[in-house]
Amino acid sequence: MHSPVGDITIAIDGGSVVSLDWGWARDQAVDDLLLKAKTRLDDYFDGGSRAFDLPLQPAGTEFQRRVWSLMQEIPYGGTMTYGEMSDRLNSSARAVGMACGANPIPLIIPCHRVLAANGMGGYSGDGGVETKVALLRLEGVVL
């Protein structure tokens, strides 16, 4: 799909979204879940939908899945720091940052809402920090 932050490819497996990547995939198919995911993302970028009611199955370690689950609790327009997340997970901010960078379903699992204590932090999606800033501004976050 086309989006304000670049072309996006959504991948599904076994009835769940498993990844969201920047760019186009070589093979493309029509599927009800893919169409639903595209519609939710289009609504998000148009300022409509603030939640994604999609079945997700991100592949990762138990710790990564805990981080990604906590990210999904950050509300639209909200943020949390790596340190705040690490405190809630009894971990380190660096480990949380590594899990954020490994997030296979960005946007839907909102790693862009996680910030460094002293600023923006990184973003592994296409466009890097510029994309993170654009997504936060879309959600009304004052930077």
Per-residue pLDDT reduced to its tens digit, 68-90: 999 999 999 999 999 999 999 99
**Does the residue 35 lie in any domain?**
no
- The average confidence (pLDDT) of the chain is 93
Q: Give the domain CATH number at 132.
A: 1.10.10.10
pTM: predicted TM-score of the whole model, two decimal places: 0.93
Q: Active site includes 111? A: yes
Average pLDDT (29-56) is 91
Instruction: Considering the candidates 37, 109, 111, 115, report the single residue annotated as catalytic.
Output: 111
Total number of domains constituting the chain: 1
Alpha-helical segments (H) within the chain? 32-45, 62-71, 82-89, 93-101, 129-138
Q: Is 2 exposed, middle or buried (0-12, 13-18, 19+ CB in 10 A)?
A: exposed
* 80 assigned to some structural domain: yes
Is the residue at 2 inside a domain?
no
Band of the pLDDT at 50, cuts 50, 70, 90? confident
pLDDT value at residue 106: 95
| Whether 99 contacts 63, CB under 8 Å | yes
CA distance 132 to 122: 8
pLDDT value of position 101: 94
Q: What one-character DSSP code corresponds to residue 18?
A: E
Domain boundaries, position 79:
62-138
